[in-house]
Amino acid sequence: MLIVKTMLFVSAILVPARITNAAPVVYTDEALYRADLASLGFPIISESFEDDMVWADSRNSITSPGSTPSAISQGIVWTANYTQNNVATGTAGGAPDGSFAIYSLPHGMTTDSGLYCDSAEDPNIPIECYQNDGLKVQSATGDTLYAFGGRIDTANNGKVTFLLDGVDINGNDTDNIDNWQREGNLADNWAFVGVIDTNGFRSAELKELRGKDAQQVLLFADDFSIGVTAVPVPPITEPDTKIIVQLEEPADNSVVTGVGNLRGWAISPQGVDRVEYSIDGGPMKVIPYGGSRPDVAIPFPGYPDAPFWGFAKSYAYGLQTPDRPHTITVRAIEDSGNYNEVTHTFNVTAFHKGYFPNPEDMDISSSSCSQNGSSILLNNIKVEDTPYNAKLEWRVPAQQFGIVEIQ
């Protein structure tokens, strides 16, 4: 029996449901999903497709098209759910964690040869008409996986299901064999959907259920958390000031907007195992670590793994609530579990939404520019026909001008 977990409401008090059996459990609440993974002792691989070395062949845009049959990142093999398709990563739809989301290229597969598929309506749509856009993952070394979940955008009220080792979790042996009724979870606007199966599985497929040939529902995905082998990660034990972690962007008490950097460096006499971050006290997520920082090696000679101490990723600050303080905590952790961390406060200034995919949305034809002390003022910028004024100041960590106020 399939179980779906969101949040339980009891006497106006939020009580999280807990995983209690070995059947596949579907989650639409990311915090609950990650909490259950942690309670079960499953290490989590976080993937947001930002590592340019790993995902270089998959980068896709109008000016620089690219895709690849498969990509291996952090021991996970990513492919499209159709072997004849590739996977691509691009900025489509404003990825929620960094700059890039992943998708199949082309999107899914239709086998119809006529327009009857596109004119058919539920519940009489022939099965061959569906596009079945999706992605598939498995361990590069054949290890067992236990959880697979991420944020989904279909831009058209999509619905998704999971196939674990080729078996649709929404199917049954009586009235819905192979999930012919196409049951699943609604997924749009970067909603979270995930599944945990404590029995484990070798492969997981994420499949969209509603799209047809000329009535397409295109699946884009980002910010995945994958539960791997049931060997607990080293416990977080106690703070250790011998571990040095520096967060360079965002600077403390800074103002940020749009897509920006999350970067810095971390060193330890015992070596750093991993670096994680959290926004506003949310779940910790892994940051790519190991970038070259020869500038840090000069004042800190003798530390292991020199000079590959940098961590960095893109982050969509513009999607955070504007005009209120936010916190970011970055934690550097040794193999032993000892750690040190730093917390910065930042504010977000933004236009009326966090992402604009079309350059035509910005109109500066009637704008003017002036100078006020060390600031540059841009007046009467029209964003989707809404007028704004913007103030730019020099950002020392980024070594460039950046927007610090939008009115």
pLDDT values of the chain reduced to their tens digit, one per residue, 407 residues? 566 655 432 222 222 344 544 689 999 999 899 888 887 877 888 899 988 888 999 998 877 889 999 999 988 999 999 999 999 999 866 677 778 999 999 998 866 555 566 665 556 677 778 889 999 999 988 889 999 999 999 877 899 999 999 999 998 777 777 777 888 998 888 999 999 999 999 999 999 998 887 678 899 999 999 998 754 445 556 667 789 999 999 999 999 988 888 999 999 999 999 899 999 988 788 888 899 999 998 999 889 999 999 999 888 888 788 888 999 999 999 988 889 999 999 999 888 876 776 788 888 888 999 888 888 999 988 988 899 998 988 888 778 888 888 88
Q: What distances in angstroms separate CA 33 from CA 105, 192, 340, 382, 386, one per listed residue?
A: 29, 10, 26, 41, 39
Task: Please answer whether residues 117 and 65 qualify as being in contact, where contact means their C-beta atoms are separated by less than 8 angstroms.
Answer: no
CA–CA gap between residue 123 and residue 120 (Å, rounded): 9
How many other C-beta atoms lie within 10 A of the C-beta of residue 144?
A: 14
Phi, psi of 55 (to 5 degrees): -105, 15
Q: What is the pLDDT of residue 15?
A: 29
80 forms beta bridges with 135
Task: Please answer whether residues 231 and 48 qualify as being in contact, where contact means their C-beta atoms are separated by less than 8 angstroms.
Answer: no
Task: Please answer whether residues 139 and 228 qualify as being in contact, where contact means their C-beta atoms are separated by less than 8 angstroms.
Answer: yes
Give the sign of the dihedral formed by CA 234, CA 239, CA 244, CA 246.
positive
DSSP state of 179: G
Q: What distances in angstroms separate CA 270 from CA 58, 309, 355, 401, one per listed residue?
A: 35, 13, 41, 38
Q: Which fold has domain 3-227?
A: Jelly Rolls (2.60.120)
Q: What is the pLDDT of residue 219?
A: 93
Q: Compute the radius of gyration of the chain from its Cα atoms.
A: 23
Please give the structure tokens belonging to residue 287. 């940051």
Q: What is the pLDDT of residue 308?
A: 93
Task: Please answer whether residues 304 and 271 qualify as being in contact, where contact means their C-beta atoms are separated by less than 8 angstroms.
Answer: yes
User: ∠ at Cα 102 (101, 104), nearest 5°?
Assistant: 145
Q: What is the pLDDT of residue 111?
A: 62
Task: Please answer whether residues 350 and 342 qualify as being in contact, where contact means their C-beta atoms are separated by less than 8 angstroms.
Answer: no
Residues near 114 by Cβ (< 8 Å), separated by ≥ 6?
none
User: β-pairing, 3-5 with 25-27?
Assistant: parallel
In this prediction the pTM is: 0.59
Query: 115 burial class (0-12, 13-18, 19+ CB within 10 angstroms)?
Result: exposed
Tell me the residue type at 204.
A
User: β-pairing, 76-80 with 134-139?
Assistant: antiparallel
Q: What is the pLDDT of residue 268?
A: 93
**b or e along 55-91 (b: 16 or more beta carbons within 10 Å of the residue's beta carbon)?**
bebbbbeeeeebbbebbebeebebbbbbeebbbbbbb
CA–CA gap between residue 385 and residue 121 (Å, rounded): 38
Helix (H, G, I), strand (E, B) or coil at 115: coil
CA–CA gap between residue 241 and residue 256 (Å, rounded): 29
Q: Which fold has domain 244-348?
A: Immunoglobulin-like (2.60.40)
User: β-pairing, 339-348 with 325-333?
Assistant: antiparallel
Q: How many residues are given for the chain?
A: 407
